[in-house]
Structure 1
Amino acid sequence: MLYADHLPGRTLLADDGREYLYCSGTGYLGMARNADFAALLAQGLARYGSNYGSSRNSSLRLRIYDEAEQLLAHLTHMPAALTVSSGYLAGQMAVKALARAGRFEYAPGTHPAAWLTEHPAPTSTPRSFPDWARHLLRRLHHETPAPVVIVANSLDPLRAEPYDFGWTRELPTDRPATLLIDDSHGFGVIGPGGAGIAPGIEVPASVQLVIVSSLGKAGGLPGGVVLGARPFVEELKRSAFFAASSPVVPAYLHAFVHAQALYEQARAQLSRNVAQFAAATAGLDLFRHLPDYPVFYTPANELADFLQPRGVLISSFPYPAPTDPCITRVVLSALHTAEDVARVAALSVEFAGQQHP
């Protein structure tokens, strides 16, 4: 394990005195180390201070919250948005509001932020996402109609697996139903203009769609968002959960609102990086990845130990618990240069050659 006293960007100066090319983390667009974004944040800090330690429901209302939430709703093609101080809080606020909306059905690997209880009831035989979706749809259409809340991630960011949500068009319309999707690893990266999963989801008119997401990954903001129909978002605003929680630091929302050109540039650079790495490693049978997505998963955990002494640090650790299997991934960001990508790709080719001479 390495330690550092600064946030890594494209490189990391670790406590062992070495500089590593950093290919880990979830800052896909590199905003946390983007100098132009930092300048916008400085403007926000000068205008709003370092924190807003008040309830959003107090007698003072800052317009930046409405501006940012209207922009988020527009970007994701959703009716309304509500920002909160973390992605975890966004998930918990949404599921708590839906606690009495029906029986909860969890997809495999659903993030803990969207768990209603401490942990969803375990299944006797873990299923793949497609298998789970098929069985859920069959069961819903054959059981006595009862309200249901279906909860899932938008994709698997650990093993770089896509989730096909075509089945949601066939959800039954004879009962109240809600589909809640955690898009923390998709928002800002996938979808048109980084809109995330929302534009690609189709549900019957009777099914309520709710999207929750962290803003701290591709967005580079310490906050989260709940997206949904306006009546649902207004209900959240009236909740004690929302009134008693701290809001996003407004300086960050100021930066977000004014940084849309920077996000677009970063997505373009990230897309080039992903395409370059995918092409350079295509014949290795080493990685699994999604089109235009910056995570490259490998079951070969030894890759991390091969790369580290050669000056490249990738993501490789047991997740989510220390007793779980190790997850090893090369994670690219918009901060990486073409030379960086070529370096990691070349080392991956060298590693694969040693594994299969």
Structure 2
Amino acid sequence: MRDFASELEQRKQAGLYRTRRLISGRQQPVLISGGKPLLSFCSNDYLGLASHPLNIETLRSALAENGIGGASSHLICGHNEAHHRLEERLAAFTRRSSALFFSTGYMANLGVISALAGRGDTIFSDQLNHASIIDGCSLSRARVCRYAHGDVASLEGMLSETEGHKLVVTDGVFSMDGDVAPLRDLARVCRDHGALLVVDDAHGFGVLGPQGRGCLAELGLSEEDVPVLVGTLGKAAGTSGAFVAGPAMLMDYLVQKARTYIYTTAMPPALALATCTSLDLIEHGDELRAHLQSLVNRFRQEASAMGYDLMPSRTPVQPIMIGSNTRALALSHGLEEFGLLVTAIRPPTVPEGEARLRVTLSAAHSHDDLDSLLQALLDCRHLLKT
């Protein structure tokens, strides 16, 4: 029998042990942890919609009419008018023909990838793709080739040497680095080599592009350029669940083949209606996005001036590269002493030797909040030398 206790102790000694932090109350910039207020800079609630009063009011009203649970899978008796309305709204918002509502982003990627590729096929996956994409590739049982991060020339060489059905999958915005994939070039090489392109825009949806329609809309890439778009609703949209959007035929195919869609209970209908309200807020949220970008620009300028090593990101995901697990933890703990919550990200979430603090900014933050973070970073610089 494996010595699980020893494995846990080894993780602690390597600075890789993880603990859950108990939070009470709403998701907002100031969280309550253990009765103590902490100004959070590690949430994915990029537009501050998780506690928006209009979303809450829609949910309250919808609960009275639709109840709480989905009760069954979509293919039994769980597919509610509310789910259908959200899917139509998502298709229109993303400028796609059709959309399918999944319970989580993880389940969407597992279901989509394993349905669209299988034995005898080949999947090409960016080396820094999210764990849900990696696991979807493994579950498919297709041959998986990982190409160097953002390296279109490397991918094109692999594609040119491969026969049969080919699927290329990438994050739109990479969750731990904050950079955006070279989507226009990826679309071109996929078109040239007959590969199906899947883009997971979890961290771009709601934030980038006109009206927050994501990184594909920002580049003017259509459904023809990128046939399959995955997005999550628990980040900028502030609710829960995920979606896949694309040609109606492919969405129908996923209804038949995506096991994580077929064999799970549908999400609460009331939550789908709250998400429709959230999409309205996103669509009319240019002021929120402008404020968010001003925070991003100022953080990059002032944190860099202090000597912190930032990654080339223009998104709300702003990693501070540390390298050492213990130093990353020390800086995180130091910031907490100043009343700030910024989580240390360590392997296996990121590669060995690339531990970091993943600062995430939200439109709900004020410039005074950012002042507090910048001052604490200034006061904690010495911790990087210990």
TM-score, length basis structure 2: 0.79
Counterpart selection for 1:257 from 276, 281, 293: 276
Aligned-residue offset at 1:91: 0.9
Secondary structure (helix, strand or coil) at the match of 1:166 reads helix
- 1:77, distance to aligned residue in structure 2 (A): 2.1
**Which range moved further: 57-66 or 221-230?**
57-66
* Correspondence 1:278 to 2:278: no
Change in CA separation of 1:222 and 1:354 when aligned onto 2, cut-off 3 Å: closer
AA in 2 matched with 1:35: P
CA distance in 2 between counterparts of 1:259 and 1:231 reads 27
Counterpart in 2 of 1:328?
357
Among 320, 327, 330, the alignment partner of 1:298 is 320
**Among 201, 205, 209, which residue is 1:191 paired with?**
209
Gap change, CA 1:275 and 1:47, over 3 Å in 2: farther
Structure 2 gaps of 5+ residues are: 1-18, 323-327
Q: What's the TM-score once normalised by structure 1's chain length?
A: 0.85
Which range moves more in the overlay, 153-162 or 168-177? 168-177
1:144 Cα deviation from its structure 2 partner: 5.6
Conservation of the 8 A alpha-carbon contact between 1:49 and 1:251: yes
Q: SS in structure 1 opposite 2:265?
A: coil
Deviations 1:334-353 (A, max 9, x none): 22122111211232244458
Letter in 1 for 2:230: V
- Asked if 2 retains the 8 angstrom alpha-carbon contact of 1:50 and 1:251, the reply is yes
Match of 2:311 among 281, 288, 291: 288
CA distance in 1: counterparts of 2:263 and 2:313, whole angstroms: 39
Q: Which residue of 1 is the match for residue 30 of structure 2?
A: 11
* Aligned counterparts of 1:44 and 1:85: Cα–Cα separation in 2: 18
Provide the secondary structure at the position in 2 that maps to 1:274: helix
Measure the CA separation in 1 of the matches of 2:344 and 2:143.
Answer: 28
For residues 289-315 of structure 1, give each alpha carbon's deviation from its aligned partner in whole angstroms, at most 9, with x where no partner exists: 522x21211113243233111111112
Which residue identity lines up with residue 377 of structure 2 in the other structure?
S
The counterpart of 1:318, out of the listed 324, 346, 349, is 346
Q: Shift in Å at residue 330 of structure 1?
A: 1.6
Say whether the 8 Å CA contact 2:150–2:181 is kept in structure 1.
Answer: yes
Judge conservation of contact 2:292–2:362 (CA < 8 Å) in 1: yes
Give the whole-Å Cα distance in 2 for the aligned partners of 1:239 and 1:355: 50
More helix by share: 2
Query: Structure 1: how far apart are the matches of 2:299 and 2:168?
Result: 35
1:231 counterpart SS class: helix
Cα deviations by residue, 1:223-253 (Å, 9 ceiling, x for unpaired)? 1111111100012223473343222211112
- Aligned equivalents of 2:37, 2:162: Cα separation in 1: 61
What's 1:247 paired with? 266
What SS does structure 2 have at the residue aligned with 1:281? helix
d(CA) in 1 for partners of 2:319 and 2:213?
Answer: 23
The SS at the match of 1:69 is helix
Please point out which of 49, 63, 68 is paired with 2:81.
Answer: 63
- Where does residue 14 of structure 2 map in the other structure? none
Q: Conserved in 2, the CA contact under 8 Å of 1:180 and 1:212?
A: yes
Q: Which of 179, 188, 194 pairs up with 1:170?
A: 188
Shift in Å, 1:53: 1.0
Partners in 1 of 2:43 and 2:341 — Cα distance?
10
> SS of the residue aligned with 2:101?
strand
Q: Partners of 2:45 and 2:92 in 1: how far apart?
A: 23
3-state SS of 1:157 partner = coil
1:65 Cα deviation from its structure 2 partner: 1.9
Q: Secondary structure at the match of 1:156?
A: coil
1:208–1:262 CA distance, 2 compared to 1 (3 A): closer
Amino acid at match of 2:174: D
Q: Deviations over 1:106-157 (max 9, x none)?
A: 111222322231599888xx864133x211202323x264321111111222
Q: CA 1:153–1:63 in 2, change beyond 3 Å: closer, same or farther?
A: same
Q: Any unmatched runs of 5+ in structure 1? A: none
Question: 2: CA distance between counterparts of 1:59 and 1:156?
Answer: 36
Identity score, percent: 23
Provide closer, same or farther for how the CA distance between residues 155 and 323 of structure 1 changes in structure 2, counting only shifts above 3 A.
Answer: closer
Q: Contact 2:88/2:99 (CA < 8 Å) preserved in 1?
A: yes
How far, CA to CA, are the matches of 1:261 and 1:165 in structure 2? 26
- Residues 1:347 and 2:367 are matched in the alignment: no
Aligned length: 349
Amino acid at match of 1:340: D
Are the structure 2 counterparts of residues 288 and 146 from structure 1 closer, same or farther at C-alpha, using a change threshold of 3 Å? same
> In 1, Cα distance between the equivalents of 2:195 and 2:280?
37
Corresponding residue of 2:10: none
* 1:130 counterpart residue number: 150
Aligned to 2:9: none
Change (3 A) 1:211 1:18: same
Distance in 1 (CA, whole Å) between partners of 2:186 and 2:115 is 22
Counterpart-to-counterpart distance in 1, 2:180 and 2:65:
41
CA distance in 1 between partners of 2:348 and 2:43 (Å): 14
Q: Greater shift after overlay, 151-160 or 226-235?
A: 151-160
SS at match of 1:257: helix
Look up the SS of the partner of 1:222 in the other structure: coil
